[in-house]
Structure 1
Amino acid sequence: MSLTRDAILNMPDSPIIDVWRLGVGRSDVIGLWAGESDLPTPKQFSEAAMAALANGQTFYSQNRGVPALRQAIAAYYQRLCNVTLEDERIAATCSGMNSVMLVAQAIIEPGDNVVCVTPSWPNILRAITITGGEVRSVPLGHGEDGWHLDLQRLFDACDARTKAIYYASPGNPTGWMIEPEQQRELMAFARERGIAILADEVYQRIVYDRSHAPSLLELATPDDPVFVINSFSKAWAMTGWRMGWLVYPRAMLETFEKLIQFNTSGGQAFLQAGATVALNEGEPFVKSFVERCRGGQKIALERLRAIPGVSVVPNQASFYLMFSVEGVSDTLDFCKRAVRDAGVGLAPGIAFGEESAQQIRLCYARSDASLIEAMDRLENFIGR
């Protein structure tokens, strides 16, 4: 008899990992499979962390993060969204994913369901399953004008056991973005029904028609059951740092103090010094990174549209495109062959849900030269 819970035993690896394993370590593979750029963390962030390490900031930190970082998070929202956050509602976490797991541990009980806008990054949905919840998917629609959410379909998926609604905006893998009008309708529905909202805003800054995607914090009161997740990974090029933050209802301060204590006992103080500098001084980098992604989006979108048999869904934000190839139904096999035969790493759509099983995700957060070479290889591969 296995000691492992059935929910864990029956949980498959992400198909992205299956593809990644074929090409990891190969210098000839251009990896467009992972959600990160090819830029290292800016030196000023790293140097702040190194200085803190050298100065002996190697002891336990406060559970919710060092005060300077919490203050930087609050100041960031004041500048960006004109939102005032109480310190008691902010926790620095050991990655955005850690934030998700903390919220799942806090609110989900066995038998609860969470209604999720999909396609979605699989790790979020696995957190719900791990904590005993049921995932109810509500797929986005899409067409030549991009992705769209049917709010009524989302509302209809909720029932008496619905504990929360989850969405990512901008979304991974779609680049879909919820607009304020739909946010207001969603907020009103959640208040009426007593349902929590888990808003993943990790890609909030990677937007091409404005300074940032709308944050639910711009509508929510301190007492609304709203949980907003963010991360330093994407816009500040800090994926390997595993640093994020969480904003939660003010009544749950004690809850998250306890959960962080029993999960991680708080993050590393010297890394938080680097994250503080990222928020306080990193705006020029964020803006330049978004412009770099804008160029990558243009290259990838134009090149994919020019390949016979390829259909691509345009995105509003993030640094991903989803496309399909005529005659390809097994996208996991397609992505494996693309690694072996073309030296291009892609993510199969099945990783993000059954509704995207025949699509493929491409991350274009790379240098123009690297992306052009990848598109050349992909065009030749598809045309064989």
Structure 2
Amino acid sequence: MSIVSSLSPRALAAPESGIVEVITYARGREGLIPLWAGEGDLPSPDFVNRAASDALLAGETFYTWQRGIPELREAFSRYYARHFSVSLPVEHFYVTGSGMHAIMLCVQAVTSPGDELIYLSPAWPNIVSAVEISGASAVGLPLDFKDGGWSLDLAKLEALITPRTRALFINTPSNPTGWTATREDLANILALARRHGLWIIADEIYALYYYGDAPRAPSFMDIMEEGDRILFANSFSKNWSMTGWRVGWIVAPPELGQVIENLIQYSNSGVAQFMQRGAVVALDQGDDFVRGNIERATRSRDILCDALIATNRVETLKPDGALYAFLKVDGVTDSRRTALDIIDKTGVVLAPGSAFGKGGELFLRACFLRDPRQVEEAAGRLRDYILKL
């Protein structure tokens, strides 16, 4: 028996990322335009960096309370009052070591080995792996795709519920599709969860990246009531260009406080205090920076989608939310092979839709949170490639 084969079956079953494969394939080449990952091209803002640096130099390097420093939890309360018009005491907020960590803790909190969690696909692949590593089963419901847009069939969602179902994972606005639930969608999902006694894990990381006629996307925050079984997983990565910081948070009923604290204690034991100081400043002083990111994303979305839709070979509408164009290109039957070919022939790096599971096999994902000039260059290269297919 080899050393590797002696490991846990759950660990061995964790798949390699289809996104990382294209990154590795492209790495080291000159002239690349990387639209592969869910990350912008701006560094973290100076005022956030300074707050963390000042705290580090001041000696804030000791253990902290697993739930987060009081100043950060208070900043969350102000943030949600400002952007979601809700009044949530600090007891609702828990600091985590990234949005991924927040999702993993939420999954661990509400599922046990043998349970089922239903998610909407195509989906960020980390979701499925987080569930399966925890010992539960991830059950995917493909969103319906028609005329370039995505929609949820609630009857199909309810039909997947079994006695083993414990939770629904709802990511809106969605990575990778850009599907954004309406308030009516959310109300119907919440009613279904109440009817069946299910938890909802709400990934609303992209809520502010909304291109409709409102300041943000509809949220479960708009309709939830006391006693509803909803956990929110969120991250500093996208809004404030802090992907490398690995700081996130959970919003949960205060009754779960000790359970979440324990799960944090036995995973990463808490987030460094100096990093939390940066997070406080991001929340309290970062609205203008976030608006700037959203404006860049809006311009780049329009540039990319307009250019590719004009080929009459791309069946994709402009996404309502998030940071991604999920492109269905005529003639593409193997998104992985096509993504590698696009790297070779154009230098543009996209993520293959096959990496996002059921329903994504014929698509390619492009992240457009980048300099509009660079996105315009990428759009031109992709347009030329598509027209030659």
TM tier relative to shorter chain: over 0.9
Residue correspondence of structure 1 range 47-196 to structure 2 within 5 A: 47-144=50-147, 146-196=149-199
**1:216–1:228 contact (8 Å) kept in structure 2:** no
Alignment of 1:182-221 (within 5 A): 182-209=185-212, 210-221=214-225
What is aligned with 1:296?
300
- Equivalent residue for 1:285, pick from 289, 296, 313: 289
Are the equivalent residues in 2 in contact too, given 1:143–1:313 (CA < 8 A)? Answer: no
CA contact (8 A) 2:117 2:137 kept: yes
| Separation in 2, partners of 1:7, 1:264 | 20
Greater Cα offset, 183-192 or 38-47:
183-192
Name structure 2 gaps, 5 residues minimum.
none
TM-score, normalisation: structure 2: 0.96
Structure 1 letter corresponding to 2:189: L
2:344 to 319, 325, 340: 340
User: Structure 2 counterpart of 1:24, which letter?
Assistant: R
After TM superposition, the structure 1 = structure 2 runs for residues 224-303 of structure 1, keeping only pairs within 5 Å, are: 224-303=228-307
TM-score (norm. length: structure 1) = 0.97
Runs of 4+ in 1 over 3 A off after TM superposition: none
Unaligned regions of 5+ residues in structure 1, if any?
A: none
Q: Indicate the larger mover: 293-302 or 317-326.
A: 317-326
2:309 paired residue number: 305
Cα distance, 1:314 vs structure 2: 2.7
What code does the residue aligned with 2:23 have?
A: W
Q: CA deviation at 1:12?
A: 2.0
How far apart are residue 380 of structure 1 and its match? 2.5
% same residue: 39
Q: CA RMSD in A?
A: 1.3
Aligned residue for 1:289, secondary structure, equals: helix
Distance in 1 between residues matched to 2:267 and 2:14, nearest whole Å: 22
- Kindly tell me the number of residue pairs found equivalent between the two proteins: 384
Shift of 1:156: 1.3
The answer to whether the 8 A contact 1:222-1:250 is kept is: no
* 1:98 aligned partner, one-letter code: H
CA deviations over 1:37-83 (Å, ceiling 9, x no partner): 11111111111111111111111111011111111011111111111
Q: Name the counterpart of 1:322.
A: 326
Task: State the AA in 2 paired with 1:240.
Answer: G
Q: Aligned partner of 1:323: which letter?
A: L
Residue 311 of structure 1 aligns to a residue whose secondary structure is coil
* Structure 2 residue identity aligned to 1:290: I
User: Is contact 2:302–2:318 with CA below 8 Å preserved after alignment?
Assistant: no
Aligned pair in 2 of structure 1 residues 133, 51: CA closer, same or farther (>3 Å)?
Answer: same
